[in-house]
Structure formats: C-alpha cells, structure tokens
Structure 1
Amino acid sequence: MAMTRIIGGLAGGARLHVPVRGTRPTSERVREAIFSALDARSLCDGARVLDLFAGSGALGLEAASRGAESVVLVERDRGAAKVAVRNAETVAKSGAARALVEQVAARAFLQHSGRTFDLVFIDPPYDLPDDELTAVLVDLAPLLTHPATVVVERARKAGPLEPPGDLELDRTRDYGDTTLHYLATTGSFADR
C-alpha cells in the first residue's frame, strides 16, 4: 500500500496510508503550499474543518495536526473510507483532534449535515463535471461560517472556477498540472 505523510504540526512526520485505487492523493508539494498559505493566516488553529472527497484524508488530517478543533472526512468509497479511519486514528495518537469519517457521497452529506465549517477542502476527481462541482458548492454555502475559506483542487486544464452566490474567488495558484482555487464567504483571503 502506498504511503504519504503529515507534513507539520502535532503529528508531523506521521505516515498515512493511501487507498490502492480510486483516489488521486494531493502531492506533498501542493499540501505544503496549501498549509503554508493557511498557516500564514492562522486559519487551521481552532477551525471546524470539512474535507470533501477525502480519499486518504490527508488534507483534513493535516489540518487536525495543525490545531483544528474538529475535522470531518467525507468519502463515498468504502475502501478509501476505511483507509481514512485508519489514518485518523494515527493522527489522533499525537494529541490532534480525532477526525470523524463519514462514508457517504459529498452532496448527500452536505444536504443532511446541519454542522457549520470554517475551513473546507474540496479535492474531487479531476473528471468531475463543472456543474457537479458547482452543485457541491451551492450545497456547501449554507454550512459555512462567515468568514470561511474553501480550498478547491482541480486539474489545471479544467480552466477557471466560477463560484456560485455567496462565495467569491480570492486567488488561484498553479502547481504543475494542479490548480488551487481559494474561495471565501466574506472579505478577502489576503486580508485575513
């Protein structure tokens, strides 16, 4: 089974398992870029975090390691969800928040959750159609605090992201064939 690791925080260096098939883990380089930007604004510390299309859970668990108050990992695939549970247990051993793993489709979770979140990671399959991603963002919006940050990872070739309604695009960064879109509910990412 493939492995990756937690980059920083309480569980820094902890090894995480990666599902054998069906997921595309975020590279360590991209995760370093994400968390460097978030840490510069103290957005992980005390945050209520949601990781949609979680796969191994690496993004949400990195946030847990860096001080998130709570983390929910949402992954539809049963095999990947089992790996995420195992990884959540590994990270919790460091004293980080224990992540809750929900084995359910992203939109089904959002439509029935009732919880609110400050920081959300959305790393869907690169072939997810734009209209489905938009539907996820529409379902997510009522669950976001103000202000909240949403980080969407897409294939660079997917082109620009048009966020719906009360989400605005703060900035976009490219890393090889990956593009990160930082969305916010209010204010500017650069102002926080």
Structure 2
Amino acid sequence: MRIISGKYKGRRIFPPKGLPVRPTTDMSKEALFNVLNNHFSFEGLKILDLFAGTGNISFEFASRGSTPITSVDADFGCVKFIKQVAAEYDFNIAATKSDVFQFLERNKATYDIIFADPPYGLDQKTFEKVVLTVFEKDILQEDGMMVIEHSKYTKLEHLPNFSFQKGYGGSFFSFFEIGKSSEEEIDEEDFDDSQEE
C-alpha cells in the first residue's frame, strides 16, 4: 500500500502476509481523501479509525498532519503492525486491540473524523449498529464527519445523519454529519462494476 499525500507522499508500506484484512485500494483511498479535503484541513484533526486493519487509512491521516489518531482492531497482528509503522515514522497513532463495539461503549473521547471499514461479509444490521452507536454515544464532534466503507449490497442512506455517498470501484463510502437529513444523495459516476473485487 502507498501513502498518497503529505509528509510521506509516495512511501510504500508492506504489511505482513496473512493478516485478515481487505485494505482500501489506492484508487478508493485517493477518492475518499479528495472528498475529505473539500471539508477539512487535516492538520491537527483528531481521528478514530475503526476496523483499522493494516492501518492504511490511519497512516494516510498521519502523513497529512492529523493527530492524535486512534486505530482500533480486534486482530493482534494488525495492531502490532500499526504500532511498528507508527514508531518507524513517528506517527501519533494509538493502536488498540479491541472489539469495536466494546471500544465504543467505553470510549469517552470525541473525534473530528471517524472512519470505519467493517468486513464486507458482516450483515446489514452490524453496519447500521456501527453508525448508530457512534451517534448515540456522541462520539463525533459537532462539525465532524463519519465515513463508513461498504459494498454496494449494504444500504445506509436511510439512517439518521446520512449526508451523501460516493462509489468507487467495488467500494462505497457513506458520509454522515450531525443534523443532516437522510435524504438520499448518491454519486455513482465513478462506480464501475468491471473493477469490482
């Protein structure tokens, strides 16, 4: 995987084989950060990365100056790798081994951006629970944004605070902002079934 922008632009990071992950593709990641760049200046943003996997998204935020970053994953190997990379690049990333819902239940902090990339194989209700729990616990800052990555088979636009959705390749990103209505605004211009994984 490659860091797209910021201090370590172009740097390639090689996670060990065997991690139970499906990393966000470079194409999708670049599209995601292009959207976020229209809403935020990344310097100093407080980030929560749920189902962090290899830390791909966390590293991108860190390279762009976001700090602090909390990365949560239930897999020991993923958390160990994120800690190794954070130490190597001096990223302010706290990697936590935890079930995501247990983390959200005990979390007391708030964040500017919350990114979640649950395994695509999880059911619809689990994806919905991630979004609903974040807002029930008031974990997102008032002017912040939550982004959840999912396949085209998962539908989240009916949930409270849904703002808009973008599709890239086989991935969709649903964006949530406090106080937004659930009126559907979906941009599939960049969606191409031929690129689906």
**1:33 aligned to 2:21?**
no
- Matched with 1:150 is 146
Separation (CA, whole Å) in 1 of partners of 2:87 and 2:5: 17
Given the alignment, which residue of 6, 9, 24 partners 2:6?
A: 9
Given the alignment, which residue of 106, 114, 118 partners 1:120?
A: 114
AA at the equivalent of 1:33: A
- Shifted more, 140-149 versus 40-49: the winner is 40-49
AA at the equivalent of 1:173: K
AA at the equivalent of 1:5: R
Separation (CA, whole Å) in 2 of partners of 1:74 and 1:125: 14
Q: CA RMSD in A?
A: 1.8
Separation (CA, whole Å) in 1 of partners of 2:46 and 2:179: 17
Does the CA contact (< 8 Å) of 1:61 and 1:71 recur in 2?
A: no
**1:183 aligned to 2:181?**
no
AA at the equivalent of 1:68: S
Separation (CA, whole Å) in 2 of partners of 1:74 and 1:5: 20
- Matched with 1:169 is 162
Residue 36 of structure 1 deviates from its aligned partner by 1.0
AA at the equivalent of 1:169: F
Residue 186 of structure 1 deviates from its aligned partner by 3.5
**SS state of the match for residue 153, structure 2?**
helix
Separation (CA, whole Å) in 1 of partners of 2:145 and 2:58: 13
Does the CA contact (< 8 Å) of 2:140 and 2:146 recur in 1?
A: no
Structure 1 residues 137-173: Cα deviation after superposition (integer angstroms, max 9, x where no partner)? 2221211110110111101222444324xxx221111
**SS state of the match for residue 35, structure 1?**
helix
Residue 88 of structure 1 deviates from its aligned partner by 1.9
Separation (CA, whole Å) in 1 of partners of 2:43 and 2:179: 19
Residue 64 of structure 1 deviates from its aligned partner by 1.4
**SS state of the match for residue 157, structure 1?**
coil
Residue 81 of structure 1 deviates from its aligned partner by 1.2
- Matched with 1:91 is 89
- Residue ranges of structure 2 left out of the alignment (5+ in a row): 182-197
Does the CA contact (< 8 Å) of 2:124 and 2:155 recur in 1?
A: no
**1:107 aligned to 2:101?**
yes
Does the CA contact (< 8 Å) of 1:18 and 1:25 recur in 2?
A: no
- Residue ranges of structure 1 left out of the alignment (5+ in a row): none
Please report the TM-score for the alignment, with normalisation by the length of structure 1.
Answer: 0.85
How many residues are treated as equivalent by the alignment?
178
- Matched with 2:194 is none
Residue 113 of structure 1 deviates from its aligned partner by 1.4
- Matched with 2:186 is none
Does the CA contact (< 8 Å) of 1:157 and 1:177 recur in 2?
A: no
